[in-house]
Amino acid sequence: MECNTAYDGDRSNTESHLKAAADHEFTAIATLDIMDTEGETALPVIGGKHLTRNIVGKNYLNYDFTIILSHFKGRAMGGFGGAIKNMSIAIASSNGKRLIHSAGTSTISWGNLALDDFLESMSEAAKAVADHCGGISCISA
């Protein structure tokens, strides 16, 4: 499960996103839910410095729990991605992604902000997901 991207490319709309997943054979092993296909909804961000809400794909509300399986990779803007990135950016709708990247100032523009503001916003969005799920449980292998 994830949402469409907020930039042009193979995953910027549901049709091309599903095709990209099929091309990589992901749909051969699992059902893919593009959570913002039917719209979006807001999760409250309690005590946020930049965000008051995290805009996520509407279908996220259909799930009882969330498991984050992370692989780490470098990003020019966000440093190393992992569980916090997956809990915030992947679950956020296209508008939510822009809201996070702009530190809460816009759903239509990426904004031009300090890296710390983006990282703090990403953490605030992840906290909204954790709060929605009733907290975080960690299991290590």
Task: State the pLDDT at residue 86.
Answer: 84
pLDDT at 77: 57
The residue-averaged pLDDT of 55-62 equals: 96
Tell me how far apart the alpha carbons of residues 50 and 102 are, in angstroms, rounded to a whole number: 9
Residue 74's pLDDT band, with cuts at 50, 70 and 90, is low
Helix (H, G, I), strand (E, B) or coil at 22: helix
How many CB atoms lie under 10 A from the CB of residue 29? 7
Banded pLDDT at 80 (limits 50, 70, 90):
low
Quickly state the pLDDT bin for 41 (edges 50, 70, 90).
Answer: very high
Q: Rounded mean pLDDT of the chain? A: 87
